Amino acid sequence: MRLLRTGDPCPCCGEPIELTDPEALRRLTAAAEQLGLPDRRETAKQENEPLTLGELERMARKGLAVWCVDRDGAGCGVLSMREDWWDNEKKSPYICLPNEERGMNQYSVEFMLELGAEFYRRRPEASA
């Protein structure tokens, strides 16, 4: 991964990087490489359409971050694949989102889609 610069999309959330300190940018680049985070400069060129369940499953296997928009607003969370509590043979995508108590909650992506939530690679323009 080439060194991240001010204005590049953040590898964690996709928002433009506001850091200007060269050492901080080197550390962010190193952390992104160590954690295996994607280079979002490529996804920044893609359209920011709602993701399908299939796309979310592929992204969950890689542990990628996405934006979720539901009736509570927009939030950035990390996807993962985990066993469903009702069927240990099946693995499904879940998203870990921050809650109001500064903790994290995990939600079934399939269930959230059924309730009308949408997931995006980057923060949707309307929620910015």
Q: pLDDT tens for the chain, 128 residues: list them.
A: 678 888 887 777 777 888 889 898 888 888 877 766 666 666 555 678 899 999 999 888 888 888 899 888 888 888 888 876 666 677 889 988 887 887 888 889 999 999 999 999 888 875 55
Residues 6+ apart with CB under 8 A from 46: 121
State whether 62 and 38 are in the same domain.
Answer: no
State whether 38 and 81 are in the same domain.
Answer: no
Backbone phi and psi for residue 42, each to the nearest 5 degrees, phi listed first: -75, -45
pLDDT for res 112: 92
State whether 89 and 119 are in the same domain.
Answer: yes
pLDDT for res 51: 92
* Nearest-angstrom CA–CA distance, 22 and 70: 37
pLDDT for res 50: 92
Whether pTM > 0.75 for this model: the answer is no
| CB atoms near residue 18 (< 10 Å) | 8
State whether 22 and 82 are in the same domain.
Answer: no
State whether 19 and 73 are in the same domain.
Answer: no
Range of the domain at 106: 53-127
* Nearest-angstrom CA–CA distance, 49 and 69: 12
pLDDT for res 98: 82
pLDDT for res 1: 64
pLDDT for res 114: 93
> Any idea what the CATH number is for the domain that residue 62 is in?
2.40.10
* Nearest-angstrom CA–CA distance, 79 and 74: 15
* Nearest-angstrom CA–CA distance, 109 and 61: 13
pLDDT for res 121: 84
pLDDT for res 84: 64
* Nearest-angstrom CA–CA distance, 61 and 70: 23
